[in-house]
Structure 1
């Protein structure tokens, strides 16, 4: 696979239309880390600031470390999509190949947490967030994959789920196509994108992990999402749009690809935005830090 690695001197690109605003570092430029992937997704930061992300068509999980080194972490990788690190340093993965939720150790040992709800297989877990208390929230839309033998879902519901104490609990089934998910660092609020209905919803997370007080946060869909230390929410699709906690768009980051799939923060100081965008990955210096 032809690949451009810019580890000492990264390619600089204009970062967008509104980069005079509140979250991007002054004079920061979007920097290309690498290209030539199939389709990049699911970035997640570990405790040291390394970023792990997926190339689902090529069935790989990659690692981009804090020194700028890019390497394959795991292959094959269950056609993993969304990723998130739990409190013990395990990588929680939406393993789409067999519609499963995985827990992966840094030794690459896999524990299959769940594959369905009641008597039905999942549609295909897509994105995941782990709360400070260790509860796992994930979305389960249906996207037909060319590596599946099935051509229709086992269940009509495209929902939001909680994995808790070995059990799967359906929290909300009122979506057209749920996708991106992120929670606040204190674990009190959860944001979920309904990309099929161009909406972002916000919930209050109760002490037992259940959700209440569902509200419309923004009339915009999103693929993946992340959050910064000020509570701003980052939405993806056509570039990256940043919304403050009041639901007001405060910044747009242009990304020179047809589709921006996902984002997370990374780096030793958690002050780089890591962007997966079609066949490429980028980083951008920020004046805010990741909120997790």
Structure 2
């Protein structure tokens, strides 16, 4: 199976002004340069070794590609409800698939699975399909450890899985130990796994959990690393070379949940000790995820609403 033939169609082309790269029409915030794209809902950014940014466009069920030169194309037209993405060390695109998509007043449901795409050929390999070993409902986000093992969250299914290779999957966490697991990351030394809980219901967990991560890929010793309650929790997150979590969290508009506006939309930089080091506001109602890229790994790509923002960070990130 190959990525959609429409992936090379240029949707928009970048313009460069005052050191800001943005896709026409140009729309720039004073502190947060943004790439205004012809999309409806952005998620799951990741960056390959050539500097191409991939992100999910969930309303229209496609994966987008933004080149360093500013060309925006459709990488895969029918993405099977792709959400979280990750380019692995071998340059393959891992995708969490199966999210719902609502467009033209209709809700589409997709086959829950995790795939891996060869970025050179477009060939798609199924790593895990929903089954007895992994009763996936809607795989949400993904990260990778130093041994190449993948860790995947299923927010609706209330579980976290480890994938050791095609068809080799282990469920690490499940309800009631977790509620609505979302973003996931691993510390630079591979000894701590961080997990976002994004339960917007009354009394729900809206926090980041931390676990000891053993050499065999199992987790233990859960503790609360950072609590966002009563506001909106994080969605996705990345991690920098100092072990700080870079969390996309908060909201600027109520959405009918039990969440409050205590946490505004933005980037929350949280230390390995669970302390908030820095908050960078993003001028959107909601925010979803982020990923590091650029030649020095200090450019943070942030998905929020219909927009892809770029920020310059003090500490370089890890490609996870």
Q: TM-score if structure 2 supplies the norm length?
A: 0.77
Of 54, 57, 62, the match for 1:55: 57
Alpha carbons 1:66, 1:268 under 8 Å: kept: no
Against the structure 1 CA distance between its residues 186 and 69, is the aligned structure 2 distance closer, same or farther, given a 3 Å change threshold?
A: farther
Gapped runs of 5+ residues in structure 1?
15-28, 143-156
* Counterpart Cα distance in 2 of 1:49 and 1:212: 36
4+ residue segments displaced more than 6 Å: none
* Counterpart Cα distance in 1 of 2:302 and 2:227: 22
State the Cα deviation string for residues 38-87 of structure 1 (Å, max 9, x = none): 21000112223322111011111112223333222221212210011222
For residue 193 of structure 1, what is the aligned residue in structure 2? 196
For residue 226 of structure 1, what is the aligned residue in structure 2? 238
Alpha carbons 2:14, 2:69 under 8 Å: kept: no
For residue 210 of structure 2, what is the aligned residue in structure 1? 202
For residue 221 of structure 2, what is the aligned residue in structure 1? 213
Alpha carbons 1:242, 1:252 under 8 Å: kept: yes
Q: TM-score if structure 1 supplies the norm length?
A: 0.84
CA shift, 1:5, in A, is: 5.5
Pairing of 1:111-260 with structure 2 (within 5 A)? 111-118=125-132, 121-142=135-156, 157-165=157-165, 166-173=167-174, 174-196=177-199, 197-220=205-228, 221-237=233-249, 238-260=265-287
Say what the alpha-carbon RMSD is for the aligned residues: 1.8
For residue 115 of structure 2, what is the aligned residue in structure 1? 102
Q: Give the number of the structure with larger relative contact order, counting CA–CA contacts within 8 Å between residues 6 or more apart.
A: 1
Alpha carbons 1:127, 1:139 under 8 Å: kept: yes
Gapped runs of 5+ residues in structure 2?
1-10, 21-26, 99-109, 200-204, 250-264
Query: Is 1:291 paired with 2:303?
Result: no
- Secondary structure (helix, strand or coil) at the match of 2:59 reads helix
